[in-house]
Every structure is written in structure tokens, then in C-alpha cells.
Chains A and B, each alone.
Chain A
Amino acid sequence: EAQLLEWGGGLVEPGGSLRVSCTASGFTFSSFGMNWVRQAPGKGLEWVSTIGGSGDDTYYTDSVKGRFIISRDNSKNTLHLQMNSLQVEDTAVYYCAKDWSRLVGSAFDFWGRGISVTVSS
């Protein structure tokens, strides 16, 4: 069974940068698109970014375009989200999630436990 484990979260000041990562196991990592979804405290789910299996195609929600960069290292089964120019509104639990099908950006059948990112002065 697929497993996903996020790491790298923490506290950062507004305007700062942080990189969160996700290590995958239990499936052929390079064959599936991967995603980041976030959840602000007490709020609903918000899709953040998607990357195809090869890493060539990437997609972002409008609020993070130009600030966040999604990438992957298929040799290490690892997904990254580089977050720059962080804002208080980026405070959330960030989940790594696997595409259910070979369609890039589909339903998400496996999720990590989430990692907390807090942007505060």
C-alpha cells in the first residue's frame, strides 16, 4: 500500500521561505502525478499544486503562482514544495497526495498525515 510522509514544516516570518517535502513508498512513484493540498486552521481543503509523473508539467492555484514551486526527484521518490514570499494566509497544514489514476490532477487516493506551516512574526 502506498505511504506518504511529509517533512520540513515549521514557523517562518512573513516574506520568508520554507520548503516542505514528501517521501513516497509502496508504489511506482514516477508513474503518478502528485499534489499538495492545504487546510488552514478550522477551514476546508484547498488545492495548491500538481506535478505530472515526469515533472515536466506543473500547475498552481492562482494565490501561489509566482511564489511556490513544485518539483519532484523520482530517483529518491520525493516531492517538494518550495514556498517563497510567504504570507500569513499561507498558514495551514500541507498535505501531500497521490493521483488515483494516470490522469494528472485527478482524485487523490493516498494522502500523507500533513505537515504544519505557520507564517507569523
Chain B
Amino acid sequence: TVLTQSPGTLSLSPGQRATLSCRASQSVNSNYLAWYQQKPGQAPRLLIHGASSRATGIPDRFSGSGSGTDFTLTVSRLEPEDFAVYYCQQYGDSLTFGGGTKVEIK
């Protein structure tokens, strides 16, 4: 399963809403779709699993939605620490990652 993330780069200001897309080449089994955040020089951090369940300790401004082939990560109000690269991952058919979306400060 190939995952395509869009846009490649999102330029926004703190306080704005971020909407990131992840599209799968075939339906993701059981909505086994996760989202990660990665900052420069750091390991990725799990944000969302099962398409919409927040991982432990993740603020509620992060939310995941979608099913089948189309998934979305929404950050309701961007905080300064949210500017990073975000990856989606499917684990319903082997394991694959999307190419990433960079959220940068406008």
C-alpha cells in the first residue's frame, strides 16, 4: 500500500488550523493508520493510531479522522512547538510510511 501525503509543505502561523492529508493506494485494513510528528534531530513521536485514537499524552488539539483510503490529521490551533514534519503510516498490509508533510512557520 502506497501512502501519498499532501501538501508537501504547509506554511501557517501560530494559532491557525492545520489540515494534513494522507491518501492510500488501496483501502487500509481496519483503519490501521497512524500519524507521527518528527522534529529535526529527534525520533518520531506517535500522535494518532487506529486513524483517530490519540496516543498517551498527546494534546487534544491533535485529531485524526478518515477511513478506507482517505485520512486527515488536524491540528486545531498551531502552537510554536507543532512546527515539524508529520508522517502517516499504515499497518494493515505490511507497513509503509507516507512521504511526509512539513508544517512551517509563515
Chain A residues in the interface with B (C-beta under 8 A): 35, 37, 44-47, 50, 59, 61, 95, 100-101, 103, 105-109, 111-114
Contacts and interface: CB of A to CB of B under 8 A. Distances in A.
Contacts of B49: 100-101, 106-107, 109
A94 to B, nearest CB: 11
Nearest to B48: A107
Interface residues of B, number: 22
Contacts of A107: 32, 34, 46, 49-50, 55, 89, 91
Contacts, number: 61
The binding surface of chain B is classed by DSSP as: loop
A100 B95 contact: no
A45 B36 CA distance: 10
Given A44-B87, A100-B55, A113 B94 contact: no
Contacts of B97: 37, 44-47
Interface string B92-105: 00111111100000
7 contacts: A45-B87, A105-B94, A107-B32, A107-B46, A107-B55, A109-B55, A113-B43
Contacts of B94: 47, 59, 61, 105
